[in-house]
Amino acid sequence: TPRVVLVPTPIGNLGDITLRALDALKEASVIACEDTRRARILLKHFEIDKPTISLHEHNEASRSQEIIKRVQDGQVVAVVSDAGMPGISDPGLRLTNACADAGVPVEVLPGACAVPLALVGSGMPTEQFVFDGFLPPKSGRRQTMLTAALERESATSIFYESPHRLTKTLKALADLDPERWVCVARELTKKFETYHQGNASSLLEHFTKQPPKGEIVLLIAPQKLPKFLTDRSLSD
């Protein structure tokens, strides 16, 4: 059936592409990519030879209309971002809404995404969580976001963070609440994947000695900890 398919791609380990993702890419008439050059590397690896068009922050509004037209003409259009789930800190949402307006079906496939992976791997409470996206680069706004996270009573807070700013952020956290339980999830699904769990001041100490590299998800525990975490945080 003619439709738009949002296709998640690996976030570091090519083995994480799914069978359905490959089927959708093979079925598509065209693949809309956040970055066509990057996508072609992935497509080449899986021996998929399809025309690509770009779909990024700056052309998503206009490109959506073109994609809708293609589906109305009977095509299947697959959408991939640079990594992981389209629409999560990545393009895809404007297209999804434009399709809904136009009555064009959108299918979303499950697959790799750094947020749920880091959450479960962190061992933090999963019953309630807030994904706050990228921490803003400006220190004032970053401070506001961190303060809001620290005030959450029972929801775990999840941020995407740049390796260059992580130590500064941990410093800000340690100044605000040195005992708060924090997790730094790095290079998920890749060869040097690590999870560092500890209170803000101990993680600050660690990453000051060993400046972090690679892709990072930062998690901040809520004020109320379940017993399994209270015991760990007391011994930290």
β-strands 3-6, 30-33: how paired?
unpaired
Judged by beta carbon, residue 65 or residue 194, the one nearer ligand SAM is: 194
Judged by beta carbon, residue 81 or residue 197, the one nearer ligand SAM is: 81
CB of 115 to ligand SAM, least distance (A): 6
CB of 83 to ligand SAM, least distance (A): 5
CB of 109 to ligand SAM, least distance (A): 12
How far apart are alpha carbons 207 and 168 in whole angstroms?
A: 10
CB of 200 to ligand SAM, least distance (A): 19
In 3-state terms the chain splits into helix, strand, coil percentages (rounded to 5) of 40, 20, 40
Asked if 118 and 217 touch (Cβ cutoff 8 Å), the reply is yes
CB of 111 to ligand SAM, least distance (A): 8
Interface residues with ligand SAM (CB under 6 A)?
11-12, 81, 83-85, 88-90, 113-114, 160-161, 185, 187-190, 215-217
For 112, the enclosing helix (H) or strand (E) is: none
Asked if 80 and 21 touch (Cβ cutoff 8 Å), the reply is no
Judged by beta carbon, residue 57 or residue 231, the one nearer ligand SAM is: 57
Residue whose beta carbon is closest to ligand SAM = 84
Judged by beta carbon, residue 85 or residue 225, the one nearer ligand SAM is: 85
How far apart are alpha carbons 111 and 53 in whole angstroms?
A: 22
Task: Let me know how many helices (H) and strands (E) the chain has, helices first.
Answer: 9, 10
Judged by beta carbon, residue 194 or residue 208, the one nearer ligand SAM is: 194
